[in-house]
Amino acid sequence: MLRTQRIRRKVFEIIKAGGWVMFPILLASVFATAIIVERFWSLQTKRVTPPNLVAQVWQMLKSGELDEDRIHALRIGSPLGRVLAAGLVNRGHNRAVLRESIEEAGRHVAHDLDRYLNTLGTIAAISPLMGLLGTVFGMIKMFAALKAHGIGDPSALSGGIAEALITTAAGLTVAIPALYFYRFLRGKVDALVITMEQEALKLVEVLQGERAQEPT
């Protein structure tokens, strides 16, 4: 208990020494963490592109069980289901209309998968700048103390130096993982979009009679 209190006190002292710039940096870290956790949960492969979904739709088509209620359940069940449902409601039209409806739904789904990633990228970009801003303020504070007290009083300079170093370190500590996860999640979204395109193409081929065997 006492050790925890000492750690908390030490952290508070570091934040206080960093000056007011530490507060937007900390706020950025909270937002970045929340976005990363939410996107990891939402972008799970089993949630976005459930396995064998096209095969299940094909079975319902063959058995005549694909009614409006099942299409609605498919639409709200997953992003891939939303794309497939767009094709199923237009299955009576020609190939051009069918592909257009699927592509339009795919664009909306891809936009939803990208949700919050631009914010995460912005945090990765501005966090070092906020750290740099804190560094500038720390240097100004140091030179002001140097002008007032001269070089004979090192304690007068330590506050500005500490503020400069702490804010720089804090900004980089937020920016580095934010940039890594932004790149990682962006790549995951691209992979999921490609998978959805492949699955949607299977559905188009099935509905147009171009795929004789059962889709997998």
- 3-54 pLDDT per residue, tens: 666 766 766 676 777 678 889 999 999 999 999 999 999 999 999 999 888 8
- Letter string b/e over residues 149-183, b meaning 16 or more CB atoms within 10 A of that residue's CB: eeeeeeebbeebbbbbbbbbbbbeebbebbbebbe
pLDDT score at 19: 76
CA nearest neighbour of 35 among 100, 117, 146:
117
pLDDT of 212 > 50? The answer is no
Q: Where are the domains of the chain?
A: 22-207
The model's pTM? 0.82
**Residue 9 burial by CB count (10 A; 0-12/13-18/19+): exposed, middle or buried?**
exposed
Could you give the C-alpha distances from 140 to 51, 134, 158, 160, 166, in angstroms and in order? 59, 10, 12, 7, 15
pLDDT of 159 > 80? The answer is no
Q: Per-residue pLDDT tens for 182-207?
A: 999 999 999 999 999 888 888 888 77
pLDDT mean across residues, the chain? 83
